[in-house]
Structures are given as structure tokens and as C-alpha cells.
A = this chain, B = another copy of it.
Amino acid sequence: MKKSITIKELSKLLDVSISTVSKALNDSHEISPATKKRIQDTAKLYNYKPNRIAVHLKSGKANTIGVVLPSIKNFFLARALRGIESVIAKTDYNIIISITNESYEKEVKSIQTLANGFVDAIIIAVSEETQIKQDFTHLKNVQDDVHLLMFDRVVQSIDCDKVVVDEYEAIFNAVKELQSKGRKNIALASTINNLSVGKLRTKGYLAAIEGIQESILIEGSEGAVENEVLSLIEAQKIDAIIALDEEASLASFRIGKKKEVLSNGKLSLIGYAGTKISEHLTPSLTTINQHGKRVGRTAAELLLKKLNKPLKDPELLTVNSSLYVRETS
């Protein structure tokens, strides 16, 4: 930790002015080739690197994009992150990630850390706690400082660019698919009824069963879902489950497997889960795939576009999901 050399020190060393060094290092035409070389050489020798903080303060541009995620355990968010990265990597922007662990407080802190100078723009998927609390002032305020883009977990009342998934339609279609196969008692299992996306999916389910069957809602913690699924199966009240998230999907799967109704066609199960685990389950799990990577790419591309011409109105882009039919349906 001997601290990098500065332009000032370099100027003293070479007995030239600070501005000469600066210009030489920026390859200005105002400096003679001779001194330019002399300066650049010693700069290299001393391993000079411009202090980004100073450059940033001076230029007012961070050249950095902040990505705020509630979790990275979440396979969808992890894929979305990769999508974002794959796009940003081709530009001269840097990416900085902050994880909120679904906490409101951490989200506020993250946003403030990033916004006040660190980054030019923020891509965020709002945390669960924030969506429960319904307090979005930190998100509103941050728009003063940086360009804001939300994806997946989106706040309606905030006017900014957004990229979402066709939650409603995806579930609606999945239910229709089950119905077309003769399923008449389709339950919905969810541990994410606090999330905007969870609510949208539930609406899609309700719309699809409208006039066909009564709704069977299984909501709560992973354990609660397990218990309720168990009693519903034992009472033979259901012949299919749509699970809205990985926890609910695996909980339903475990019970279905234990009760031996998954392989013999007594119970269909469509869930949300990562490809790897879905394929390795026995029987393998039919899932709704939200194309996280594409969502991330779309978000990053939209952001870059807006960063270039910030004038335009906010946009809302939707990425369609698709059903990956495997053995449980």
C-alpha cells in the first residue's frame, strides 16, 4: 500500500508542470513528441494510473452502471444479471452489483451508495420488503441523480424505463394447457404473494379458471405450502398444481413425489425453477421459463439507448416466457 503515484508527483519528478504531464498522458497534440515520450515512459515506470475518483469528480461521469438485486440465489435474477453483463461488457461501462437480500433497509443503503456519484445509472429489481412496505421514496429520489431502470419486480407508480415478463399471460396459458389435458382442480401454490409478480401471476390463474372451477390457493411459507399440498392430495381435492416460485415448486414436488402421484398422472405440476434442477428431478419438472438472460439483455440495451438520448419518454418492454414441458405435466 504505497499509494499510486499522482500527476503532481510525476510533474515534480520530471520537473515539468502538472498540466504538461496531464496533457502528455492524454496524448495531447500540444506536447512535443520528445517530452511526451519522456513523461509517458516514466509514468509507465512508476505504474501511473489515473485516479478514477478524481476523474469522475471532474468529469461528472462515472462510466459505471449499478445493478441492484434482491438476491442471487434466485436463478432468474442470476440469469438476468448475466444478460445485463453480456451487453454492458461490450461497452466501456463498468458494472457494479449490490445485493439487498430482499431487505428494504439494505436497498435504501445500496441506492444511496450508488446514486451519489458512484454510477450513471441504476438497474434494479425491487426487494420483497420494499414491495410489502410500499415505500418507494428512495427510488423516486434517486431519479434526480441517475437514470433508473426497473426490471421484473417493478413499481407501477414510478415513472421510469421498465422491462417485465408476461407474468399474467404465462400463467394463463399454462392453466389453459392443463385444462386442455383434462385437469379440473388446479391449485395455485406460492410463497411470493407479497411480490408484484406473484400477484400478477395469481391474477392470470384466476382469470383462466374463471367459470370453470373454484380457485384453490395455497399461499405462505415453504413449509406451509408443503402441509397444505399434502392435505389436498390426501383429500383428493386436486389434480394439478401451478407453483409460482422455486420454493413452492420444490415443496409441491417433494410432497407429490412422496405421495406417489407425480409419475402416474394423478397430479400434474408446473413450476418455476432453474433448468438444472428441473431436469435433474425424477420425474423432471415442467417449468415456465422466463428467459432471465434475455430479460437482462433487454434491460441493459434499453438503458444504453436511453443513456445516449435521455430525452425520450420512459418505455415498458415485455419479454415473453415459455413453457418447458417435461415429465410432470
A interface residues with partner B (beta carbon < 8 Å): 1-4, 47, 49-54, 56-57, 62, 64, 72-73, 78, 81-82, 85, 89, 94-99, 101, 106, 109-110, 112-113, 115-118, 141, 143-147, 250, 253-254, 257, 276-277, 280-282, 310
Determine the distance from Cα of A132 to Cα of B143 in the docked complex, in whole angstroms: 43
CB distance from A314 to the nearest CB of B (A): 12
Q: Shortest beta-carbon distance, A326 to chain B, in Å? A: 14
Which residues in B have their C-beta under 8 angstroms from that of A52? 113, 116-118
Known contacts A85-B101, A95-B98, A97-B98; is A117 also within 8 Å of B53 by CB?
yes
Oligomer: number of copies? 2
A96 touches B94 (CB 8 A): no
Give A3 to B50 CA distance when docked, in angstroms.
25
CA of A85 to CA of B101 in the docked complex: distance in angstroms? 9
A109 CB to closest chain B CB, in angstroms? Answer: 7
Contact A94 to B109, CB < 8 A, known contacts A53-B117, A57-B53: yes
B3 near A145 (CB under 8 angstroms)?
A: yes
| A118 / chain B contacts, CB cutoff of 8 Å | 52-53, 118
Contact between B2 and A144, CB atoms less than 8 A apart:
yes
A310 vs B1: C-alpha distance when bound (angstroms): 9
In whole angstroms, how far apart are the Cα atoms of A253 and B279 in the complex?
12
Q: Which residue of B lies closest to A103 (CB)?
A: B89
Q: In the complex, are the beta carbons of A116 and B57 less than 8 A apart? A: no
A98→B56 CA distance, assembly (Å) = 19
Residues of B within 8 Å of A2, CB to CB, are 144
Which 9 A-B residue pairs are closest in the complex by CB-CB distance? Answer: A53-B117, A97-B97, A52-B116, A282-B282, A94-B113, A52-B117, A72-B72, A51-B117, A96-B96
A70 → B minimal CB distance (Å):
13
Distance to closest chain B CB from A122 (angstroms): 12
The answer for the CA separation of A81 and B110 in the assembled complex, in Å, is 16
Q: Which chain B positions have C-beta within 8 A of A101?
A: 82, 85
CA of A47 to CA of B254, assembled, Å = 51
Give the Cβ gap from A158 to chain B, nearest Cβ, in Å. Answer: 14
Identify 7 new A-B residue pairs, CB closer than 8 A, beyond the known A52-B118, A54-B57: A1-B145, A3-B145, A52-B116, A81-B99, A95-B98, A277-B277, A280-B281
With both beta carbons as reference points, the residue of chain B lying nearest to A109 in the complex is identified as B94
- Complex Cα distance A56/B64, Å? 17
On whether the beta carbons of A53 and B116 are closer than 8 Å, the reply is yes
Q: Complex Cα distance A182/B104, Å?
A: 53
